[in-house]
Amino acid sequence: MSSRAPKASRGLVGENLETAHWEDARHWMAIYGDLLRFKAGLLDRIRSEVPKLHPAAQEAASTDLAIVEDQMEGYQQRFELWAKRLWDLHGLLLEPDGSLVRHQGRELKLTNREFQLLQFLLEHPGRWYSANQLLVRAWGDSALSPEEMRNYIRRLRKLLVELEVPAQLVNRPGRGYSLVISATEQTAKA
């Protein structure tokens, strides 16, 4: 569509994925997070105004919507790339064979469900999911109850603390759960 979308997926001026500093990765995640929030607000405004427009203007607005959506997709890809780089810099490794998670010399064996939940959340940084959405998206199993999901969330929170992973599994009413990278003294050890 637009030549602007590929630019976003290539990155912005000054990005260096080879950086050895976790602070750089957090910086770029913050920038892409801000861009995503801005574009989401822009999309909401455009979508609310489109029905009020003349049909010819609606067609032009739909083109604009597609451009903004493409840009957002590129920004989301960069955000996820920087999140992965941040975990690499922090020394967080997931090993699907055996459901192991390693962080800075520590290792824990997780249950298959705990591992799948952590892996899903790491693959979708900065996104929020309800307990029901996590049941379906992380495990493909809506037969479990939201209470069972909350039990896995509690267990995963304890495991993250035990491994001293610089992140928290946060629940926000109305938004759901997300793995939020924290800038604490733990991250300064990295």
Q: So what's the pLDDT on residue 118?
A: 92
Q: What is the mean pLDDT of the chain?
A: 85
Strand partners, 181: 167
Q: What pTM did the predictor assign?
A: 0.68
Q: Which of 92, 96, 70, 73 is nearest to 83 (CA)?
A: 92
Strand partners, 180: 168
Q: Is the pLDDT of residue 2 over 80?
A: no
- pLDDT tens for each residue of 119-175: 999 888 778 999 889 988 888 877 888 888 889 999 999 999 999 988 889 999 999
Structure tokens that stand for 131 in this block: 């307990």
Q: Is the pLDDT of residue 65 over 80?
A: yes
Q: So what's the pLDDT on residue 189?
A: 36
Contact in structure between 101 and 83 (CB atoms under 8 Å): no
Q: So what's the pLDDT on residue 9?
A: 61
CB atoms closer than 10 angstroms to residue 123: 14
DSSP helix/strand/coil, 176 = strand
